[in-house]
Homo-oligomer: A and B are copies of this chain.
Amino acid sequence: MKKPRLILACLLVCGAVSAWAEDGYRLWLRYDRIDGQSNRNEYRRPTQALILATPTGEESAIIKSARSEVARGLDKMLGRKQTKVHVVTHAPDPALGEDGYALENVTVDGEAAVRVRANSDAGVLYGVFEVLRRVQMRESLEELDVVSVPKIDRRLLNHWDDLNGFVERGYAGFSLWRWYELPEILDPRYTDYARAVASLGLNGTVVTSVNANALILTPDYLKKVAALADVFRAWGIRTYLTARYSAPIEIGGLETADPFDPAVQAWWDAKIDEIYEHIPDFGGFVVKANSEGQPGPHDYGRDHAVGANLLAEPLAKNGRDGIVMWRAFVYDFEDDTDRVKQAYNQFVPLDGKFADNVLVQIKNGPLDFMPREAFSPLFGATPQTKQMVELQITQEYLGASLELAYLGTMWEEVLQQDTFVQGEGSTIGTITDGTLHGHELSAIAGVANTGTDRNWTGHVMAQANWYAFGRLAWDHELGAREIAIEWAQLTFDANAKATDKIVNLLMSSRETVVNYSMPLGLHHIMERGHHYGPGPWVEGGRPDWTSPYYHQADTTGIGADRVASGSNAIEQYAPELQALWGNLETVPDELLLWFHHLPWDYEMRSGRTLWNELAFRYQQGVDEVRAMRETWTSLRGDIDAERWDHVRQRLAVQEAAAIEWRDACLLYFQQFSKRPLPDGVELPAHDLQHYIDVNRRYFPGHPGDN
């Protein structure tokens, strides 16, 4: 008779406590207790014990982490005091690769157990996270037949964090790394960060910005990095740094950073030795060289390969497996070639010249993380050179952390994009995972969207992008929808119908952003500096940082002419794609103005004129955000009030942003089209000057006041 009352008391107390906690901090690792004894028993039964089977059977730091996660997760979900965890030895299994794992049901001492088998402690940890994920998603742990092996070796986050705590293109507060407290003080959040990273199977993190600061390589800072690396290592995460090419001058006291200078070579050799003393499993460097003002080998008349190999050699010394990720995001102020052609032009001649432990790190598009671009033609164009894709998790051009844009769909599009460089099936995924050209070493990078905000990513729904990147880094063939379903189930305690709505919201969101900001292949028409909001009028300074350079709107029409009549950037693609995209009959609407300059009255497949279609797409974007708001309103009560309200507020901002984009862009382009807005497109509330005058000062993620 007392039972119900006591349960009620418990619920009240737990409810009150968890009211403090529904702030998104727990990400997809919520581990809420499963409702109902019989539901809990369903998972208690097959998990009388967990068997962690590794080649060594040792109680390493990573195994300890796995144990702690079992306590934090399984015990809490099952309301159990302490799950038995046995660490055992087993023979290596080539089928599991380095980081893969198998989950199996076994019986030990008459008790049902789940065995997590792997060739490395990290593999075991990933397997444990999968067990926990299955329980969280209420998937069965009986009749397990799971083998999961990552397709890519180095699965990295790139943090664009400066040493003063500022995050470049960061919209979730400031840097997680509290450099002035390190190495003495370890923020417990470092561990929670590492847990989240490891839970996705990511195994590396580059803690400093590509716009590198040589100070990170000084002894004082290396001690700080080592303290972070010690935390991360226990979760299978290796630490990487960015290398400022001019470091030998700035902190080494040399007069040059010329890679052919023996003193420079000796300096890097000694410096890298020093790094390994601090961080024995140091992962290597990301380098942004001769790009946007950064120093590099061109300063001394040397090419990228020479530049990269300078660092690569000591990273491979003494059995080390450090790597150089040399960014292909390069374009010269002096070079008047179409900006999107320049990386290809610089790197293709260098094929075969890079050291074995160098990967060329290529942004998915040849321009810069636009809401949609054609893929970078450099992918697959240097078969003797290892290539990796760089995706941007932080939403520099997709609404910062104010707007909902699930990027899983964009990345699915990118990773499954066929380059045709070795015939059909030459996807960017198979280039990144090394299989297309038979490279042993492979890597993938995502520019992190994390910061000090309590919910890690600013917008709670942006957690889905961190999650999706991690899952795709493990397996680039996963679908964006299945990842969205997983994330939504793990993140919200919603019923199936509500989960469905959330997933549908995610799935259409990126296309919605494309529609209200840069539809039909338009690109780079955002505001200067902070890159938030419309700026098709942005002019002045170097041409390739203006908007007209890209939209080319004039009284005759709009769009970048990248076929033979123009820059002919299309020639950098495989013939199959040249045929597809070069032909107005076959080019998809989504890339129309990326490749073609067309008259305002050009007749679209829809039957509308180009002008009317453009207006229609902008309106559609606004309409879609309104529908998103309605969907969200309908979810009230289906998820916790705190996160519901968090998203509600931001969707209101997103509608206003969509309207601003639509009105600003249509008014601007109307100057050239000289045509009225078609029926069904709402009239702007202001004149063009109003939108031009919008001045967002101190927008985050960009230094300075605009």
Interface residues, chain A, CB within 8 Å of chain B?
Answer: 2-3, 6-7, 9-10, 12-14, 16-18, 20-21, 23, 25-26, 33, 72, 75-76, 79, 81, 163-165, 173-174, 179-181, 184-186, 188-189, 215, 402, 452-454, 642, 646, 649-650, 652-653, 656, 696-700, 705
Whether A698 contacts B79 by the Cβ 8 Å rule is no
Query: Within the assembled complex, what's the spacing in Å between the Cα atoms of A162 and B184?
Result: 29
Whether A9 contacts B656 by the Cβ 8 Å rule is no
Q: Which residues of B contact A23 (CB under 8 A)?
A: 188
The chain B residue sitting closest to A704, CB to CB, is B164
Query: Within the assembled complex, what's the spacing in Å between the Cα atoms of A21 and B25?
Result: 11
Min CB gap A632→B, angstroms: 14
Instruction: Point out which of A7, A180, A696 has the most chain B C-beta atoms below 10 A from its C-beta.
Output: A180
Query: Within the assembled complex, what's the spacing in Å between the Cα atoms of A7 and B2?
Result: 11
Whether B184 contacts A653 by the Cβ 8 Å rule is yes
Whether B13 contacts A649 by the Cβ 8 Å rule is no
Query: Within the assembled complex, what's the spacing in Å between the Cα atoms of A696 and B9?
Result: 52
Whether A653 contacts B17 by the Cβ 8 Å rule is no
Known: A174-B173, A697-B163. Is A184-B656 also a contact (CB below 8 A)? yes
Q: Which residues of B contact A698 (CB under 8 A)?
A: 163-165, 179-180
Q: Which residues of B contact A173 (CB under 8 A)?
A: 173-174, 452
Q: Which residues of B contact A6 (CB under 8 A)?
A: 3, 6-7, 10
Query: Within the assembled complex, what's the spacing in Å between the Cα atoms of A478 and B118?
Result: 63
Whether B10 contacts A17 by the Cβ 8 Å rule is no
Query: Within the assembled complex, what's the spacing in Å between the Cα atoms of A16 and B297?
Result: 54
The chain B residue sitting closest to A174, CB to CB, is B174
Q: Which residues of B contact A179 (CB under 8 A)?
A: 698
Whether A13 contacts B26 by the Cβ 8 Å rule is no
Q: Which residues of B contact A12 (CB under 8 A)?
A: 79, 81
The chain B residue sitting closest to A694, CB to CB, is B220
The chain B residue sitting closest to A2, CB to CB, is B3
Closest 3 CB pairs of A and B: A10-B10, A164-B698, A6-B6
Grouping DSSP codes into helix (H, G, I), strand (E, B) and loop, the A interface class, with mixed when no group exceeds half, is loop
Whether B10 contacts A185 by the Cβ 8 Å rule is no
Query: Within the assembled complex, what's the spacing in Å between the Cα atoms of A3 and B9?
Result: 12
Min CB gap A209→B, angstroms: 13
A-B contact pairs, 8 of them (CB 8 A): A6-B7, A12-B79, A16-B75, A17-B17, A20-B25, A179-B698, A181-B653, A184-B653
Min CB gap A264→B, angstroms: 24
Known: A2-B2, A6-B7. Is A642-B164 also a contact (CB below 8 A)? no
Min CB gap A513→B, angstroms: 18
Q: Which residues of B contact A189 (CB under 8 A)?
A: 454
Min CB gap A146→B, angstroms: 27
Query: Within the assembled complex, what's the spacing in Å between the Cα atoms of A181 and B75?
Result: 39
Q: Which residues of B contact A697 (CB under 8 A)?
A: 163, 215
Whether B79 contacts A13 by the Cβ 8 Å rule is yes
Whether B649 contacts A174 by the Cβ 8 Å rule is no
Whether A164 contacts B21 by the Cβ 8 Å rule is no
The chain B residue sitting closest to A162, CB to CB, is B698
The chain B residue sitting closest to A652, CB to CB, is B184
Whether A20 contacts B26 by the Cβ 8 Å rule is yes
Q: Which residues of B contact A14 (CB under 8 A)?
A: 10, 13-14, 17
Q: Which residues of B contact A696 (CB under 8 A)?
A: 180
The chain B residue sitting closest to A181, CB to CB, is B402
A454 touches which of B17, B79, B163, B454 (Cβ 8 Å): B454
Query: Within the assembled complex, what's the spacing in Å between the Cα atoms of A188 and B21?
Result: 12
The chain B residue sitting closest to A697, CB to CB, is B215
The chain B residue sitting closest to A645, CB to CB, is B188
Known: A20-B25, A188-B642, A649-B184. Is A9-B79 also a contact (CB below 8 A)? yes
Q: Which residues of B contact A454 (CB under 8 A)?
A: 189, 454
Min CB gap A78→B, angstroms: 11
Known: A14-B13, A174-B174. Is A649-B699 also a contact (CB below 8 A)? no
Q: Which residues of B contact A76 (CB under 8 A)?
A: 13, 16
A185 touches which of B2, B452, B649 (Cβ 8 Å): B649
Min CB gap A211→B, angstroms: 14
A164 touches which of B186, B188, B705 (Cβ 8 Å): B705
Q: Which residues of B contact A215 (CB under 8 A)?
A: 697
Whether A180 contacts B699 by the Cβ 8 Å rule is yes
The chain B residue sitting closest to A184, CB to CB, is B653
Query: Within the assembled complex, what's the spacing in Å between the Cα atoms of A9 and B25?
Result: 24
**Sample of 12 further A-B pairs with CB below 8 A, known A21-B21, A164-B705, A185-B649:** A14-B17, A20-B25, A20-B26, A163-B697, A163-B698, A165-B698, A165-B700, A174-B174, A184-B649, A184-B656, A185-B650, A188-B642
Min CB gap A207→B, angstroms: 14
Query: Within the assembled complex, what's the spacing in Å between the Cα atoms of A656 and B181?
Result: 13
The chain B residue sitting closest to A185, CB to CB, is B649
Min CB gap A162→B, angstroms: 8
Query: Within the assembled complex, what's the spacing in Å between the Cα atoms of A562 and B186?
Result: 45
Query: Within the assembled complex, what's the spacing in Å between the Cα atoms of A696 and B188?
Result: 23
Query: Within the assembled complex, what's the spacing in Å between the Cα atoms of A18 and B663?
Result: 49
Query: Within the assembled complex, what's the spacing in Å between the Cα atoms of A646 and B72?
Result: 20
Q: Which residues of B contact A656 (CB under 8 A)?
A: 184
Q: Which residues of B contact A181 (CB under 8 A)?
A: 402, 653
Q: Which residues of B contact A453 (CB under 8 A)?
A: 452
Min CB gap A679→B, angstroms: 31
Q: Which residues of B contact A81 (CB under 8 A)?
A: 12
Q: Which residues of B contact A652 (CB under 8 A)?
A: 184
Instruction: Point out which of A13, A185, A653 has the most chain B C-beta atoms below 10 A from its C-beta.
Output: A13
Min CB gap A585→B, angstroms: 45
Query: Within the assembled complex, what's the spacing in Å between the Cα atoms of A124 and B377?
Result: 69
The chain B residue sitting closest to A80, CB to CB, is B12
Query: Within the assembled complex, what's the spacing in Å between the Cα atoms of A265 and B81?
Result: 72
The chain B residue sitting closest to A180, CB to CB, is B699
Query: Within the assembled complex, what's the spacing in Å between the Cα atoms of A12 and B652?
Result: 40
Q: Which residues of B contact A649 (CB under 8 A)?
A: 184-186
The chain B residue sitting closest to A81, CB to CB, is B12
Query: Within the assembled complex, what's the spacing in Å between the Cα atoms of A270 and B653?
Result: 30
Query: Within the assembled complex, what's the spacing in Å between the Cα atoms of A184 and B81?
Result: 45
Q: Which residues of B contact A165 (CB under 8 A)?
A: 174, 698, 700
